[in-house]
Structure 1
Amino acid sequence: MWSWEAIMVLPGVEVIPAYTFSTCRNVKTIIMADTVKRIEERAFYCCRSLVYIQLSRNLEYIGAFAFRFCYSLTSIFIPPSCREIREYALADCKELIILSVPTHTQLDYNVIAATALIEASSFPTCRFGDYENEEEVHHWIKNRLQGDEYALHRACSSYNPLEESIFGIVKTQGLKAFKEPDSVGVTPSQYLSENPFAEIEEQKILKRYILDMMGEIVG
């Protein structure tokens, strides 16, 4: 298992037990069947090469330290079914800059300690990347893309993003909106390309926009 580069969790599996894939350092991709409901403690601990993960659409729980020290992971999108993420679940994922999490999901302490996301924020941290003001940090994680200026960011990072919603925003804001960074430097284009729940391609939106604009000019 130490040489594995991809993990496919097959249909029927509901729980990924503690330490199951811990220290599988060559794993780059994880795709879970939608039957998975729980990821237990340290299940993917120290999978240092992990860059892409598609969680189960019915996931309810992520245990403590589950993805800690997954150094190469840049993004993770939590489905609405998830009720709880335990302490340090994503800590020390040093490249993690995109975290999409529902507002109702309970976050335990230092979930994103020592990540690119917390480093890009204005919250003070200790030398190990831990933070103390949990309530403020968690509110920021869940609500930082509020506001009209981040409408496209929200649409592209949402669970099951809709083409009509994205196209409507782009039609109002223009194509340049895809390249506008948010407060941590991430663009809507990046959110959409990283989103494992998205079945929409940016190029399709761009072509549709151009055709729509041409129709208006001709008309």
Structure 2
Amino acid sequence: VTHVIVDISVTVIKKNAFSQCLLLVSAIMGERIEGWAFFNCIALRYIRLSKALEYIGWGAFLCCASLEALFLPSTAKSIGFDAFGHCRSMRFLILPIDTIEIVGGAVFRDTGIQQIAENAGVEYEMTP
């Protein structure tokens, strides 16, 4: 599996759903992403999160070493411990500073983030 598009009717990506899918390059997904859902998907470069996303679980994208950018929608409420840890290619991050709760810590540890911007209700479109 190299590309995944999760149907809009699917609101939760369950724990370990795509864990260690080593060839997965892109994913378009729903409102809630549970822990370890995409753990160690080392080829994953592009994710498009639902504009209704509220929750990203512990270690959800841990060790996704090729992930380059992250755009969290203004609906994002909670990000779990180490959710994006060791995403070493990540350079750019947009997040809703006023509404998000970081649960635990180390959410962005060992990343290559060079620029962080606040999502102030700005619409975005990212193409793979």
Pair in the same fold by TM > 0.5: yes
Indicate the RMSD between aligned Cα atoms, in angstroms. 2.1
**Share of identical aligned residues, percent?**
33
Is residue 73 of structure 1 aligned with residue 70 of structure 2? no
How far, CA to CA, are the matches of 2:108 and 2:49 in structure 1?
18
**Aligned equivalent of 2:22:** 25
The equivalent position to 2:33 in structure 1, one of 39, 61, 75, is: 39
- Could you state the TM-score of these two structures normalised by the residue count of structure 1? 0.53
Is residue 100 of structure 1 aligned with residue 63 of structure 2? no
Shift of 1:142: 6.0
More strand by share: 2
How far, CA to CA, are the matches of 2:19 and 2:59 in structure 1?
10
Query: Structure 2 regions of 5+ residues with no counterpart?
Result: none
How far, CA to CA, are the matches of 1:58 and 1:70 in structure 2?
23
Is residue 196 of structure 1 aligned with residue 126 of structure 2? yes
Please tell me whether Structure 1 or Structure 2 has the larger radius of gyration of its CA atoms.
1
How far, CA to CA, are the matches of 2:93 and 2:53 in structure 1?
16
Moved over 2 A (4+): none
Number of residue pairs matched? 125
Shift of 1:159: 3.3
- Could you state the TM-score of these two structures normalised by the residue count of structure 2? 0.89
Shift of 1:11: 1.9
Is residue 110 of structure 1 aligned with residue 106 of structure 2? yes
Render the CA deviation track for 1:43-92: whole Å, top value 9, x for unaligned: 00111001111001101000000000000001010011110001100000
